[in-house]
Protein backbone atom coordinates (compact mmCIF):
# COMPACT_ATOMS: atom_id res chain seq x y z
CA UNK A 1 0.00 0.00 0.00
CA UNK A 2 2.89 2.32 0.85
CA UNK A 3 4.42 1.49 -2.55
CA UNK A 4 1.59 3.31 -4.35
CA UNK A 5 2.86 6.72 -3.32
CA UNK A 6 6.52 5.97 -2.47
CA UNK A 7 7.42 3.97 -5.56
CA UNK A 8 4.91 3.58 -8.39
CA UNK A 9 4.01 7.27 -8.64
CA UNK A 10 7.66 7.88 -9.58
CA UNK A 11 7.94 8.82 -13.31
CA UNK A 12 11.34 7.07 -13.68
CA UNK A 13 9.89 3.78 -12.45
CA UNK A 14 6.79 4.25 -14.59
CA UNK A 15 9.02 4.69 -17.66
CA UNK A 16 11.06 1.59 -16.82
CA UNK A 17 7.85 -0.38 -16.30
CA UNK A 18 6.97 0.21 -19.96
CA UNK A 19 9.65 -2.31 -20.93
CA UNK A 20 7.66 -5.00 -19.09
CA UNK A 21 4.11 -6.28 -18.93
CA UNK A 22 3.26 -4.97 -15.45
CA UNK A 23 0.88 -6.94 -13.25
CA UNK A 24 -0.27 -6.72 -9.63
CA UNK A 25 -1.60 -9.76 -7.82
CA UNK A 26 -2.22 -11.31 -4.42
CA UNK A 27 0.83 -13.22 -3.20
CA UNK A 28 -0.71 -15.69 -0.75
CA UNK A 29 -2.95 -17.02 -3.50
CA UNK A 30 -0.05 -17.30 -5.96
CA UNK A 31 2.21 -18.95 -3.40
CA UNK A 32 -0.26 -21.44 -1.94
CA UNK A 33 -3.13 -22.29 -4.27
CA UNK A 34 -3.67 -24.48 -7.32
CA UNK A 35 -3.62 -23.66 -11.00
CA UNK A 36 -1.15 -22.83 -13.76
CA UNK A 37 -0.52 -19.23 -12.66
CA UNK A 38 0.30 -20.35 -9.10
CA UNK A 39 2.61 -23.03 -10.53
CA UNK A 40 4.17 -20.33 -12.70
CA UNK A 41 4.84 -18.09 -9.67
CA UNK A 42 6.25 -20.96 -7.60
CA UNK A 43 8.58 -21.84 -10.48
CA UNK A 44 10.67 -18.73 -9.78
CA UNK A 45 9.75 -17.16 -6.43
CA UNK A 46 12.20 -19.29 -4.45
CA UNK A 47 15.02 -17.70 -6.45
CA UNK A 48 13.94 -14.29 -5.17
CA UNK A 49 14.59 -12.20 -2.07
CA UNK A 50 12.57 -14.41 0.33
CA UNK A 51 13.50 -17.78 -1.14
CA UNK A 52 13.38 -20.51 1.53
CA UNK A 53 12.29 -18.13 4.29
CA UNK A 54 9.84 -19.45 6.91
CA UNK A 55 10.30 -16.94 9.77
CA UNK A 56 9.00 -14.51 10.83
CA UNK A 57 6.53 -15.51 8.10
CA UNK A 58 6.64 -17.53 4.89
CA UNK A 59 5.35 -14.67 2.74
CA UNK A 60 6.92 -14.19 -0.66
CA UNK A 61 5.59 -10.68 -1.21
CA UNK A 62 7.65 -8.24 -3.22
CA UNK A 63 8.46 -7.11 -6.74
CA UNK A 64 9.58 -9.80 -9.20
CA UNK A 65 10.73 -9.76 -12.80
CA UNK A 66 10.53 -12.95 -14.83
CA UNK A 67 10.62 -14.05 -18.44
CA UNK A 68 7.32 -15.32 -19.90
CA UNK A 69 8.86 -18.80 -19.65
CA UNK A 70 9.15 -18.42 -15.86
CA UNK A 71 12.91 -17.85 -15.85
CA UNK A 72 13.72 -15.60 -12.87
CA UNK A 73 15.32 -12.25 -13.71
CA UNK A 74 15.47 -10.21 -10.47
CA UNK A 75 13.44 -9.29 -7.37
CA UNK A 76 13.30 -7.10 -4.26
CA UNK A 77 10.82 -6.24 -1.53
CA UNK A 78 11.16 -2.50 -1.20
CA UNK A 79 9.30 0.76 -1.68
CA UNK A 80 12.58 2.67 -2.19
CA UNK A 81 12.54 4.02 -5.79
CA UNK A 82 16.34 3.74 -6.08
CA UNK A 83 16.39 0.07 -5.10
CA UNK A 84 13.51 -0.65 -7.41
CA UNK A 85 15.15 1.18 -10.30
CA UNK A 86 18.34 -0.83 -9.78
CA UNK A 87 16.38 -4.09 -9.69
CA UNK A 88 14.37 -3.28 -12.84
CA UNK A 89 17.55 -2.26 -14.68
CA UNK A 90 19.25 -5.49 -13.66
CA UNK A 91 16.22 -7.50 -14.79
CA UNK A 92 16.26 -5.86 -18.23
CA UNK A 93 19.98 -6.61 -18.62
CA UNK A 94 19.35 -10.28 -17.81
CA UNK A 95 16.40 -10.35 -20.20
CA UNK A 96 18.58 -9.03 -23.03
CA UNK A 97 21.22 -11.67 -22.25
CA UNK A 98 18.68 -14.52 -22.05
CA UNK A 99 18.79 -16.83 -25.10
CA UNK A 100 15.64 -16.68 -27.22
CA UNK A 101 14.91 -20.35 -26.54
CA UNK A 102 14.71 -19.71 -22.77
CA UNK A 103 12.44 -16.69 -22.96
CA UNK A 104 9.08 -18.34 -23.74
CA UNK A 105 7.04 -21.43 -22.88
CA UNK A 106 7.14 -24.19 -25.48
CA UNK A 107 3.34 -24.20 -25.64
CA UNK A 108 1.93 -20.66 -25.64
CA UNK A 109 -0.33 -20.08 -22.59
CA UNK A 110 -4.09 -19.93 -23.16
CA UNK A 111 -6.12 -16.99 -21.90
CA UNK A 112 -8.60 -17.88 -19.17
CA UNK A 113 -6.84 -21.10 -18.17
CA UNK A 114 -6.71 -20.01 -14.52
CA UNK A 115 -10.08 -18.26 -14.14
CA UNK A 116 -11.80 -21.08 -12.26
CA UNK A 117 -9.22 -20.90 -9.47
CA UNK A 118 -9.74 -17.18 -8.78
CA UNK A 119 -12.21 -15.33 -6.57
CA UNK A 120 -12.36 -12.66 -9.28
CA UNK A 121 -14.33 -15.15 -11.38
CA UNK A 122 -17.29 -14.50 -9.04
CA UNK A 123 -17.42 -10.87 -10.17
CA UNK A 124 -21.11 -9.82 -10.24
CA UNK A 125 -21.21 -8.59 -13.85
CA UNK A 126 -24.88 -7.60 -13.68
CA UNK A 127 -24.78 -6.41 -10.09
CA UNK A 128 -23.32 -3.43 -8.28
CA UNK A 129 -19.54 -3.05 -7.96
CA UNK A 130 -18.21 -0.25 -5.80
CA UNK A 131 -14.73 1.06 -5.19
CA UNK A 132 -14.09 1.73 -1.49
CA UNK A 133 -11.65 4.34 -0.15
CA UNK A 134 -10.61 4.71 3.51
CA UNK A 135 -8.61 7.55 5.03
CA UNK A 136 -7.90 9.20 8.38
CA UNK A 137 -9.62 12.56 8.84
CA UNK A 138 -8.14 15.75 10.38
CA UNK A 139 -7.42 15.75 14.12
CA UNK A 140 -6.78 18.53 16.62
CA UNK A 141 -3.32 17.11 17.24
CA UNK A 142 -2.00 15.37 14.13
CA UNK A 143 -0.56 12.02 15.15
CA UNK A 144 1.34 10.84 12.13
CA UNK A 145 4.16 12.06 9.93
CA UNK A 146 5.63 10.67 6.74
CA UNK A 147 3.63 8.24 4.62
CA UNK A 148 1.01 7.58 7.32
CA UNK A 149 0.02 11.28 7.35
CA UNK A 150 -1.09 10.98 3.72
CA UNK A 151 -2.16 7.35 3.65
CA UNK A 152 -5.37 5.99 2.20
CA UNK A 153 -6.40 2.52 1.16
CA UNK A 154 -8.74 0.99 -1.37
CA UNK A 155 -10.93 -2.06 -1.80
CA UNK A 156 -14.00 -3.21 -3.70
CA UNK A 157 -17.52 -4.04 -2.54
CA UNK A 158 -19.69 -6.46 -4.52
CA UNK A 159 -23.46 -6.86 -4.62
CA UNK A 160 -25.42 -9.25 -6.80
CA UNK A 161 -28.14 -7.81 -9.05
CA UNK A 162 -30.82 -8.95 -6.59
CA UNK A 163 -28.98 -7.36 -3.66
CA UNK A 164 -28.41 -4.13 -5.57
CA UNK A 165 -32.11 -3.68 -6.26
CA UNK A 166 -32.86 -3.75 -2.53
CA UNK A 167 -31.11 -0.39 -2.15
CA UNK A 168 -34.11 1.24 -3.88
CA UNK A 169 -37.60 1.64 -2.33
CA UNK A 170 -40.11 -0.73 -3.92
CA UNK A 171 -42.80 1.94 -4.19
CA UNK A 172 -41.58 4.22 -6.97
CA UNK A 173 -42.76 7.61 -5.75
CA UNK A 174 -41.06 10.63 -4.26
CA UNK A 175 -40.70 10.29 -0.50
CA UNK A 176 -40.97 6.48 -0.49
CA UNK A 177 -38.58 4.85 1.99
CA UNK A 178 -36.93 1.49 2.45
CA UNK A 179 -34.88 0.01 5.26
CA UNK A 180 -31.94 -1.84 3.74
CA UNK A 181 -31.92 -5.50 4.70
CA UNK A 182 -30.14 -6.01 8.02
CA UNK A 183 -27.94 -8.75 6.57
CA UNK A 184 -26.76 -6.44 3.78
CA UNK A 185 -26.23 -3.42 6.06
CA UNK A 186 -24.46 -5.73 8.49
CA UNK A 187 -22.17 -6.98 5.73
CA UNK A 188 -21.18 -3.42 4.91
CA UNK A 189 -20.29 -2.83 8.56
CA UNK A 190 -18.44 -6.15 8.96
CA UNK A 191 -16.46 -6.30 5.74
CA UNK A 192 -16.08 -2.71 4.53
CA UNK A 193 -16.27 -0.28 7.44
CA UNK A 194 -12.93 -1.49 8.76
CA UNK A 195 -9.70 0.30 9.56
CA UNK A 196 -7.37 -0.64 6.72
CA UNK A 197 -6.01 2.91 6.21
CA UNK A 198 -2.41 1.86 6.94
CA UNK A 199 -2.68 -1.80 5.98
CA UNK A 200 -4.66 -5.01 6.04
CA UNK A 201 -7.05 -5.76 8.87
CA UNK A 202 -9.68 -8.33 9.75
CA UNK A 203 -13.41 -8.05 9.14
CA UNK A 204 -15.70 -7.84 12.15
CA UNK A 205 -17.70 -10.88 13.22
CA UNK A 206 -21.50 -10.83 13.08
CA UNK A 207 -21.79 -10.63 16.87
CA UNK A 208 -19.54 -7.58 16.91
CA UNK A 209 -21.99 -5.42 14.94
CA UNK A 210 -23.96 -3.40 17.50
CA UNK A 211 -25.76 -1.20 14.95
CA UNK A 212 -26.00 -1.38 11.17
CA UNK A 213 -28.85 0.74 9.91
CA UNK A 214 -29.24 2.13 6.42
CA UNK A 215 -32.37 3.57 4.83
CA UNK A 216 -33.05 4.82 1.33
CA UNK A 217 -35.53 7.50 0.28
CA UNK A 218 -36.63 8.51 -3.21
CA UNK A 219 -35.78 12.17 -3.67
CA UNK A 220 -36.99 12.58 -7.24
CA UNK A 221 -37.82 10.60 -10.37
CA UNK A 222 -36.86 11.67 -13.90
CA UNK A 223 -38.19 9.22 -16.47
CA UNK A 224 -36.50 5.91 -15.71
CA UNK A 225 -33.96 7.56 -13.37
CA UNK A 226 -34.81 7.14 -9.70
CA UNK A 227 -32.75 9.46 -7.47
CA UNK A 228 -32.18 8.00 -4.02
CA UNK A 229 -30.74 9.39 -0.78
CA UNK A 230 -29.20 7.08 1.83
CA UNK A 231 -28.81 7.74 5.54
CA UNK A 232 -27.73 5.55 8.37
CA UNK A 233 -25.42 4.71 11.23
CA UNK A 234 -23.19 1.82 12.18
CA UNK A 235 -21.35 0.70 15.28
CA UNK A 236 -18.95 -2.24 15.37
CA UNK A 237 -17.00 -3.15 18.49
CA UNK A 238 -14.75 -6.12 19.17
CA UNK A 239 -12.76 -7.13 22.23
CA UNK A 240 -10.38 -9.95 22.98
CA UNK A 241 -6.72 -10.83 22.73
CA UNK A 242 -4.96 -10.74 19.42
CA UNK A 243 -1.56 -10.13 17.91
CA UNK A 244 -0.38 -6.56 17.45
CA UNK A 245 2.88 -5.09 16.26
CA UNK A 246 3.15 -6.63 12.82
CA UNK A 247 5.95 -9.17 12.74
CA UNK A 248 6.64 -8.78 16.47
CA UNK A 249 3.63 -11.05 17.14
CA UNK A 250 2.77 -9.43 20.48
CA UNK A 251 -0.55 -10.72 21.74
CA UNK A 252 -2.43 -8.05 23.69
CA UNK A 253 -5.82 -7.61 25.29
CA UNK A 254 -7.50 -5.18 22.94
CA UNK A 255 -10.66 -3.49 21.81
CA UNK A 256 -11.29 -2.18 18.35
CA UNK A 257 -14.24 -0.67 16.57
CA UNK A 258 -15.79 1.93 14.33
CA UNK A 259 -18.84 4.07 15.05
CA UNK A 260 -20.02 6.19 12.17
CA UNK A 261 -22.77 8.02 10.32
CA UNK A 262 -23.56 7.41 6.65
CA UNK A 263 -25.02 9.56 3.90
CA UNK A 264 -25.16 8.89 0.19
CA UNK A 265 -26.89 9.45 -3.12
CA UNK A 266 -27.51 7.19 -6.08
CA UNK A 267 -29.40 7.01 -9.35
CA UNK A 268 -31.11 3.75 -10.31
CA UNK A 269 -32.27 3.22 -13.90
CA UNK A 270 -35.47 1.19 -13.87
CA UNK A 271 -35.05 0.37 -17.59
CA UNK A 272 -31.64 -1.30 -17.25
CA UNK A 273 -32.13 -2.20 -13.57
CA UNK A 274 -28.65 -0.83 -12.89
CA UNK A 275 -27.25 2.04 -10.85
CA UNK A 276 -25.85 4.79 -13.09
CA UNK A 277 -24.30 6.57 -10.11
CA UNK A 278 -23.68 5.62 -6.50
CA UNK A 279 -21.90 7.39 -3.67
CA UNK A 280 -21.96 6.57 0.04
CA UNK A 281 -19.91 8.62 2.51
CA UNK A 282 -19.15 7.32 6.01
CA UNK A 283 -17.57 9.40 8.78
CA UNK A 284 -16.93 8.43 12.38
CA UNK A 285 -14.44 7.34 15.01
CA UNK A 286 -12.28 4.22 14.83
CA UNK A 287 -10.28 2.84 17.72
CA UNK A 288 -7.87 0.00 18.48
CA UNK A 289 -5.89 -1.96 15.93
CA UNK A 290 -5.01 -5.35 14.51
CA UNK A 291 -1.74 -7.11 13.75
CA UNK A 292 -1.00 -5.60 10.37
CA UNK A 293 -2.89 -2.30 10.30
CA UNK A 294 -0.04 -0.30 11.91
CA UNK A 295 -2.11 1.26 14.70
CA UNK A 296 0.13 0.17 17.60
CA UNK A 297 0.75 3.81 18.56
CA UNK A 298 -2.70 5.07 17.64
CA UNK A 299 -5.28 3.14 19.64
CA UNK A 300 -7.45 5.97 20.97
CA UNK A 301 -10.62 7.01 19.12
CA UNK A 302 -9.89 9.17 16.08
CA UNK A 303 -11.81 10.14 12.98
CA UNK A 304 -11.74 7.95 9.88
CA UNK A 305 -13.76 8.20 6.70
CA UNK A 306 -14.90 5.70 4.08
CA UNK A 307 -16.33 6.46 0.63
CA UNK A 308 -18.04 4.02 -1.75
CA UNK A 309 -18.29 5.04 -5.41
CA UNK A 310 -19.27 3.23 -8.57
CA UNK A 311 -16.31 1.25 -9.97
CA UNK A 312 -15.47 1.00 -13.65
CA UNK A 313 -15.65 -2.30 -15.51
CA UNK A 314 -12.04 -2.70 -16.69
CA UNK A 315 -10.03 -5.78 -15.70
CA UNK A 316 -8.38 -3.83 -12.89
CA UNK A 317 -11.84 -3.01 -11.46
CA UNK A 318 -12.72 -6.70 -11.16
CA UNK A 319 -10.51 -7.57 -8.22
CA UNK A 320 -12.44 -9.35 -5.47
CA UNK A 321 -13.15 -7.59 -2.14
CA UNK A 322 -10.50 -8.34 0.50
CA UNK A 323 -13.05 -9.96 2.81
CA UNK A 324 -15.18 -11.62 0.14
CA UNK A 325 -15.05 -14.96 1.98
CA UNK A 326 -16.66 -13.29 5.00
CA UNK A 327 -19.64 -12.09 2.95
CA UNK B 1 -7.67 41.52 13.38
CA UNK B 2 -5.24 39.18 11.58
CA UNK B 3 -4.65 36.94 14.65
CA UNK B 4 -8.41 36.62 15.05
CA UNK B 5 -8.85 35.52 11.42
CA UNK B 6 -5.93 33.10 11.74
CA UNK B 7 -7.47 31.67 14.89
CA UNK B 8 -10.80 31.08 13.21
CA UNK B 9 -9.07 29.41 10.23
CA UNK B 10 -7.13 27.15 12.59
CA UNK B 11 -10.29 26.18 14.44
CA UNK B 12 -11.95 25.25 11.15
CA UNK B 13 -8.95 23.26 9.96
CA UNK B 14 -8.64 21.29 13.17
CA UNK B 15 -12.33 20.64 13.66
CA UNK B 16 -12.44 16.86 13.85
CA UNK B 17 -14.95 14.79 12.00
CA UNK B 18 -16.04 12.91 15.10
CA UNK B 19 -16.91 16.07 17.02
CA UNK B 20 -19.10 17.27 14.20
CA UNK B 21 -22.81 16.80 14.84
CA UNK B 22 -24.05 18.64 11.78
CA UNK B 23 -27.05 17.17 9.99
CA UNK B 24 -26.33 14.72 7.21
CA UNK B 25 -26.97 16.73 4.07
CA UNK B 26 -25.51 17.18 0.59
CA UNK B 27 -22.88 19.66 1.86
CA UNK B 28 -21.72 17.18 4.54
CA UNK B 29 -21.46 14.44 1.94
CA UNK B 30 -19.55 16.60 -0.56
CA UNK B 31 -17.13 17.90 2.08
CA UNK B 32 -16.10 14.48 3.34
CA UNK B 33 -16.08 12.88 -0.09
CA UNK B 34 -13.52 15.48 -1.19
CA UNK B 35 -11.42 14.81 1.90
CA UNK B 36 -11.39 11.02 1.52
CA UNK B 37 -11.31 10.10 -2.20
CA UNK B 38 -7.72 10.23 -3.55
CA UNK B 39 -6.91 13.29 -5.62
CA UNK B 40 -5.53 12.90 -9.15
CA UNK B 41 -1.82 13.04 -8.10
CA UNK B 42 -2.49 10.27 -5.58
CA UNK B 43 -3.78 8.06 -8.38
CA UNK B 44 -0.53 8.42 -10.37
CA UNK B 45 0.55 4.87 -9.45
CA UNK B 46 -2.22 3.52 -11.68
CA UNK B 47 -0.52 5.06 -14.73
CA UNK B 48 1.80 2.03 -14.80
CA UNK B 49 -1.11 0.15 -16.34
CA UNK B 50 -1.13 -2.80 -13.95
CA UNK B 51 -2.85 -5.93 -15.18
CA UNK B 52 -4.93 -7.56 -12.47
CA UNK B 53 -3.99 -11.25 -12.78
CA UNK B 54 -0.61 -12.89 -13.25
CA UNK B 55 -1.88 -15.27 -15.91
CA UNK B 56 -3.24 -12.45 -18.10
CA UNK B 57 0.26 -10.92 -17.96
CA UNK B 58 1.89 -14.24 -18.89
CA UNK B 59 -0.35 -14.50 -21.96
CA UNK B 60 0.31 -10.88 -22.91
CA UNK B 61 4.06 -11.14 -22.32
CA UNK B 62 4.25 -13.97 -24.85
CA UNK B 63 2.32 -11.93 -27.40
CA UNK B 64 4.33 -8.74 -26.81
CA UNK B 65 7.69 -10.50 -26.36
CA UNK B 66 8.37 -8.65 -23.12
CA UNK B 67 9.40 -9.74 -19.61
CA UNK B 68 6.91 -9.62 -16.72
CA UNK B 69 7.01 -7.14 -13.82
CA UNK B 70 5.02 -8.61 -10.93
CA UNK B 71 3.98 -6.60 -7.86
CA UNK B 72 2.86 -9.35 -5.47
CA UNK B 73 1.59 -8.37 -2.03
CA UNK B 74 -0.40 -9.79 0.86
CA UNK B 75 -3.75 -8.41 -0.27
CA UNK B 76 -4.18 -7.47 -3.92
CA UNK B 77 -2.25 -4.22 -4.68
CA UNK B 78 -5.13 -2.99 -6.86
CA UNK B 79 -7.52 -3.41 -3.93
CA UNK B 80 -6.73 -3.68 -0.23
CA UNK B 81 -3.10 -4.46 0.59
Nearest CA in chain B to A35: B55
For residue A88, CA distances in Å to A66, A67, A97 come to 11, 13, 14
In the predicted structure, residue B3 carries a pLDDT above the cut 70: no
Q: Which residues contact B24 (CB under 8 A, 6 or more apart)?
A: A231, A261, A262, A263
Q: Same domain for A93 and A166?
A: no
In the predicted structure, residue B7 carries a pLDDT above the cut 60: no
pLDDT at A125: 93
In the predicted structure, residue B36 carries a pLDDT above the cut 90: yes
SS3 A277: strand
Residue A314's domain comprises 122-326
Residue A116 lies in a domain: no
Q: Same domain for A94 and A192?
A: no
pLDDT at B20: 59
pLDDT in tens, chain A (327 residues): 788 988 999 999 999 999 999 999 999 999 999 999 999 999 999 999 999 999 999 999 999 999 999 999 999 999 999 999 999 999 999 999 999 999 999 998 999 888 888 999 999 999 999 999 999 999 988 888 888 999 999 999 999 999 999 999 999 999 999 999 999 999 999 999 999 999 999 999 999 999 999 999 999 999 999 999 999 999 999 999 988 878 777 788 999 999 999 999 999 999 999 999 999 999 999 999 999 999 999 999 999 999 999 999 999 999 999 999 999
Q: Same domain for A96 and A131?
A: no
pLDDT at B27: 96
Neighbouring C-beta atoms of residue A260, cutoff 10 Å: 25
pLDDT at A143: 86
pLDDT at A140: 87
Nearest CA-CA distance, residue A189 and chain B, Å: 16
Domain boundary residue among A40, A67, A102? A102
List chain B residues with CB under 8 Å of A266.
none
Q: Same domain for A74 and A204?
A: no
Nearest CA-CA distance, residue B76 and chain A, Å: 4
Pairwise CB contact (< 8 Å): A200 & B74: yes
Q: Would you place residue B1 in the very low, low, confident or very high pLDDT band (cuts 50, 70, 90)?
A: very low
Residue A27 lies in a domain: yes
Q: Same domain for A202 and A93?
A: no
Pairwise CB contact (< 8 Å): B54 & A37: yes
Pairwise CB contact (< 8 Å): A61 & B14: no
Rounded to two decimals, what is the model's pTM?
Answer: 0.92
Residues β-bridged to residue A57: none
Q: Same domain for A257 and A212?
A: yes
List chain B residues with CB under 8 Å of A147.
none
Q: Would you place residue B18 in the very low, low, confident or very high pLDDT band (cuts 50, 70, 90)?
A: low
Q: Would you place residue B16 in the very low, low, confident or very high pLDDT band (cuts 50, 70, 90)?
A: low
Q: Same domain for A136 and A246?
A: yes
Q: Same domain for A24 and A157?
A: no
List chain B residues with CB under 8 Å of A303.
16-18
Q: Same domain for A56 and A84?
A: yes
Q: Same domain for A91 and A150?
A: no
Cα of A81 vs its chain's centroid, Å? 23
Residues in chain A: 327
* Average pLDDT rounded to a whole number, residues B18-40: 88
Q: Same domain for A204 and A93?
A: no
Q: Same domain for A88 and A182?
A: no
Please give the tally of structural domains in chain A. Answer: 2
Amino acid sequence: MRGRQAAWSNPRLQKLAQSFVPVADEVWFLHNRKGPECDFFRSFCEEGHYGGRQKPTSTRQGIYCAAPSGVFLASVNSTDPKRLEAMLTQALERWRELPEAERYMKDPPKAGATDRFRTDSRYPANGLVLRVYTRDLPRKNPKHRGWRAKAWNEDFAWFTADEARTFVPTRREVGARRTIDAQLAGRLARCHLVDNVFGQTRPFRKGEIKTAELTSRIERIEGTQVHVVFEGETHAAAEGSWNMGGLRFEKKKMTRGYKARLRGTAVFDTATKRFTSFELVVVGDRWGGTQYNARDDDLEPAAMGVVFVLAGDSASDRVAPAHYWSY
Amino acid sequence: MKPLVAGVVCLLLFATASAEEKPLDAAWQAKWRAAIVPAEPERAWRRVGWRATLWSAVVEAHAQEKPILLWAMNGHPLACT
